[in-house]
Amino acid sequence: MGEIDEILNLEPMGAKFKSFGFHTIECDGHNLELLEAAFKDKTHEEVQKPKAVIARTMKGKGVSFMENDNIWHYTRLNPETLDKAMAELQEGDE
């Protein structure tokens, strides 16, 4: 268990896709407008390349006790933590 860059570093991911000939777009995977723009981007058609969208995200984003904590890959929410998580997510939407 650990951070991906400590276990199996995949970076620089964008450069790797580019080296295989992909038109590569990197964006904040939590920003729906940026994601939509990346998926709608037609540059790859103009340059006749496949497209790769790398959406950078944070595990557990928006829930303070879950953000960047690998244990939540293996842990279930109980009724109390579910209520706390939902409250934090609802606060973030306001």
pLDDT tens digit string along 15-57?
A: 999 999 999 999 999 999 999 999 999 999 989 999 999 999 9
* Opening angle at CA 65, ends 62 and 69, nearest 5: 95
Distance CA 47, CA 43 (A): 6
If we measure between CA atoms, which residue out of 83, 84, 80, 78 comes closest to residue 65? 84
Q: Are residues 9 and 53 in the same domain?
A: yes
Write out the residue range of the structural domain in which residue 28 sits. 1-57
Mind listing the pLDDT tens digit for each residue in 45-54? 989 999 999 9
Q: Are residues 14 and 34 in the same domain?
A: yes
26: left (phi over 0), alpha (psi -120 to 50) or beta: beta
Q: Is the pLDDT of residue 88 over 70?
A: yes
Confirm if 70 and 1 have CB atoms less than 8 A apart: yes
Q: Are residues 46 and 73 in the same domain?
A: no
Q: Are residues 50 and 11 in the same domain?
A: yes
